[in-house]
Structure 1
């Protein structure tokens, strides 16, 4: 049985604070997704809505066992915030996000899955299992 600790962060500053709280030397996986619309409870981002159930299912029963994983769901904001080229998610050299949803291992910029890849359950499972 694995130990997956789940966090939620709102916006870029919330993400940075959460990573700081978890601390260095920990395995941190973050899902960057569009914020939810209050009236519907769904993200404004259609790709995020499609990927969400796949990811939720895997983090409920994560396929990792030997290490603790800190999982952060990061809501990037509304469409206007996300589309701003100056938003921290796009400009931070350790992230350089170009699309959402994006799943990445913090500190391993090259280890990421994006958009349609996140609807492939096997790819998402491999992402958690595959320690580089």
Structure 2
């Protein structure tokens, strides 16, 4: 898999990252809780559980031959995420309701959330199905 990996801290940084990638590319974003500077772990327990599973799938050779721009998007701390007016919740292209969420940008219907992101087969299918 040709995987180009990006990281964005917050909604504005995510929008800038999308602009830098440009149109006409397949972009998959993982929306996750920001990590503590002291512990290195997310405040979001579901995100902590899902992260190693997702990492294992995208590093695995079983998704070879797929060209993807992969963006890890840190949504902020718990207070920022819970704000109903945060861009991740209000943006019509995203409409996030929970984290973690794996979403193909430009295809709102193609998403995996929370508990689905602990299933390696679902994640692999997400990347390999057109």
TM-score normalised by length of structure 1: 0.95
Give, in whole Å, the separation in 2 of the partners of 1:64 and 1:92.
Answer: 30
Show the counterpart of 2:69: 70
Alignment of 1:59-98 (within 5 A): 59-61=58-60, 63-98=62-97
Aligned residues: 130
Q: Which runs of 4+ in 1 moved over 2 A?
A: 61-67
In 2: Cα distance, 1:98 partner to 1:43 partner: 18
Q: How does 1:1-132 map to 2 (within 5 A)?
A: 2-61=1-60, 63-131=62-130
Distance change (3 Å), C-alpha of 1:86 and 1:62 = farther
- CA shift, 1:68, in A, is 1.3
Q: Give me the whole-angstrom Cα distance separating, in 1, the residues matched to 2:61 and 2:35.
A: 24
Alpha-carbon distance between aligned partners in 2 of 1:84 and 1:66, rounded to the nearest angstrom: 39
Distance in 2 (CA, whole Å) between partners of 1:90 and 1:103 is 14
TM-score w.r.t. length of structure 2: 0.97
Unaligned 5+ runs, structure 1: none
Unaligned regions of 5+ residues in structure 2, if any?
Answer: none
How far did 1:67 drift? 3.7
Change (3 A) 1:63 1:16: farther
Calculate the aligned-residue CA RMSD, in Å: 1.0
